[in-house]
C-alpha cells in the first residue's frame, strides 16, 4: 500500500514548484501537492474511474505519511469516507452500507488508516483534483501562485457544495 502521485500532480510538483528543496523535504512537499489534489477531488466529489487508474496514476510517493503529516492520517481517512458516502448519496441512517464502506477502505492496523483499496480510491480523488485544477489554472510559476489558484478553486467548490 502506498500513496501514488497522479501524473497531473507530477506536473504541478515538478514544473510549477521549482524553487523547493530536494531529499526528505522534497518528499514532504510532493506529499503536500498530492494532499492538495486529494482534498480538492474529495471536496468536489470527483474521482477518476478505476479504468483510468493505470494511465493517470504515476510513481509511488511514500508508503506512509511523512512524519510531519502523520497526524493527518485520521482526518484524511475520515474525509475519504465522507466524500465517498456523499458522492454515492448514502443516507446517514444506512448503517450497513456505511460500515461496509468503512471496512472496504479503512484499516485501523495501517499507519495510513487506509486499506489497499482505500489508497487506490484516494489516488483517484487526487487525480480528479488535479484535473480540476488543470482545467482552470495552468499558468503560474511559483508555489505562492499555486496556493492562490488552489485556494480560490477550493473556496468555489466548497461554496457550491454549501448551496
Domain boundaries defined on the chain: 3-162
Under 8 Å between Cβ of 25 and 144: no
Place of cell 475520515: 78
DSSP state for residue 53 in the 8-state scheme? H
Cell numbers found for residue 119? 489508497
d(CA 56, CA 115): 20
pLDDT at position 13 is 67
pLDDT at position 139 is 63
Phi, psi of 62 (to 5 degrees): -165, 155
pLDDT at position 159 is 79
Under 8 Å between Cβ of 47 and 41: yes
Report if pTM > 0.75: yes
Residue 118 has pLDDT above 60, yes or no: yes
Under 8 Å between Cβ of 87 and 41: no
Residue 67's pLDDT band (cuts 50, 70, 90): confident
Residue 15 has pLDDT above 90, yes or no: no
Mean pLDDT, rounded, for 9-38: 65
pLDDT at position 25 is 53
How do residues 75-105 score in pLDDT, each as one tens digit?
999 999 999 999 999 999 999 999 999 999 9
pLDDT at position 152 is 85
Q: How many residues does the chain have?
A: 163
Amino acid at each position: 500500500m502506498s500513496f501514488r502521485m497522479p501524473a497531473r500532480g507530477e506536473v504541478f510538483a515538478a514544473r510549477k514548484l521549482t524553487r523547493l528543496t530536494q531529499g526528505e523535504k522534497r518528499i514532504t512537499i510532493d506529499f503536500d501537492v498530492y494532499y492538495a489534489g486529494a482534498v480538492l477531488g474529495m471536496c468536489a466529489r470527483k474521482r477518476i474511474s478505476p479504468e483510468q487508474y493505470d494511465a493517470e496514476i504515476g510513481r509511488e510517493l511514500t508508503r506512509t505519511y511523512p512524519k510531519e503529516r502523520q497526524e493527518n492520517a485520521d482526518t484524511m481517512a475520515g474525509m475519504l469516507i465522507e466524500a465517498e458516502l456523499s458522492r454515492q448519496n448514502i443516507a446517514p441512517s444506512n448503517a450497513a452500507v456505511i460500515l461496509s464502506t468503512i471496512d472496504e477502505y479503512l484499516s485501523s492496523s495501517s499507519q495510513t488508516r487506509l486499506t489497499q483499496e482505500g489508497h487506490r480510491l484516494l489516488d483517484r480523488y487526487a487525480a480528479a483534483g488535479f484535473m480540476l485544477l488543470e482545467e482552470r489554472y495552468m499558468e503560474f510559476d511559483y508555489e505562492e501562485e499555486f496556493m492562490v489558484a488552489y485556494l480560490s478553486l477550493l473556496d468555489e467548490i466548497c461554496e457550491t457544495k454549501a448551496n
